[in-house]
Structures are given as C-alpha cells and as structure tokens.
C-alpha cells in the first residue's frame, strides 16, 4: 500500500514514528525524574523522623507494610527499597551539584552508587 501512495508517504510515516518514539522517551524520562524526587523525599522523611522521634529501624518495616496495604499492586515500596531511598538521601544530601544530577539518572543507577 505504501508503494501506491509514494515515497512522500514513507517520509511522512517515518516522521510520525520518530515523533512517537521521541514523545515516549520524553514521557519516561519525566516519570523517572518525578519518581527519583519522590524517592529522595521519602528517604529524607525517614531520616528526619528517625532523628526527631528517635525511631529505630522497625519504622521502615512498618512503613513498607502500610504502604503495600494502601497501594495494592504498586511496586517500589518494599522494605529493601525504602532502605535504598534512605541510603540514597544520605548519600547525596550534602552535595547540591549531585542532587541535581541524580534526578536525571534511572533509579537503578542511583541505588548502585
């Protein structure tokens, strides 16, 4: 069918496909950036409240259970991941240049640091 329309259509189709791919990449990067900011904030909140209220490590386990109960079917709030969020915040909290850069990296890159 493309050959009946002509090469202009093939060019048009490739332009549209390129825009779709570009928009998808942009959307994924936007979502990733927001999740990284969320994970940073959760890690910060855990650290601050542990210091303020003298909470021990059990609060992270309890938080994971409560979040799993309230957000059924949502992944990312396991005990281990909450510890990663806490570690993530502690690892970058004093470096303002790195704080800006970490939001651009996928979560897997940040927890392996």
Residue-wise pLDDT for 9-26, tens only, equals 999 999 999 999 999 999
In a domain, 27, yes or no: no
Percent of the chain with pLDDT over 90: 69
What is the predicted pLDDT for the residue at 46?
98
In a domain, 23, yes or no: no
In a domain, 21, yes or no: no
Please report which confidence band the pLDDT of residue 51 belongs to, taking 50, 70 and 90 as the band edges: very high
pLDDT at 111 over 80: no
Domain count, the chain: 1
Separation between Cα atoms, residue 60 and residue 63, nearest integer Å: 5
> Residue holding tokens 């994970």?
39
- Nearest CA among 58, 54, 93 for reference residue 79: 58
**pTM for the full model?**
0.78
Collapsed DSSP state (helix, strand, coil) of residue 69: helix
Separation between Cα atoms, residue 17 and residue 60, nearest integer Å: 44
Using an 8 Å Cβ cutoff, are 49 and 55 in contact? yes
């Amino acid at each position: 069918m493309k050959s009946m329309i002509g090469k202009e259509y093939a060019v048009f189709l490739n332009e549209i496909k390129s825009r779709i791919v570009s928009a998808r990449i942009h959307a994924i990067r936007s979502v990733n950036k927001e999740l990284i900011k969320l994970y940073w904030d959760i890690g910060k909140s855990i650290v601050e409240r542990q210091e303020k209220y003298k909470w021990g490590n059990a609060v992270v386990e309890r938080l994971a259970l409560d979040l799993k109960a309230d957000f059924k079917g949502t992944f990312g709030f396991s005990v281990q991941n909450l510890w990663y969020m806490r570690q993530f915040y502690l690892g970058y909290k004093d470096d303002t240049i790195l704080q800006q850069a970490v939001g651009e990296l996928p979560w897997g890159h940040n927890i392996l640091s």
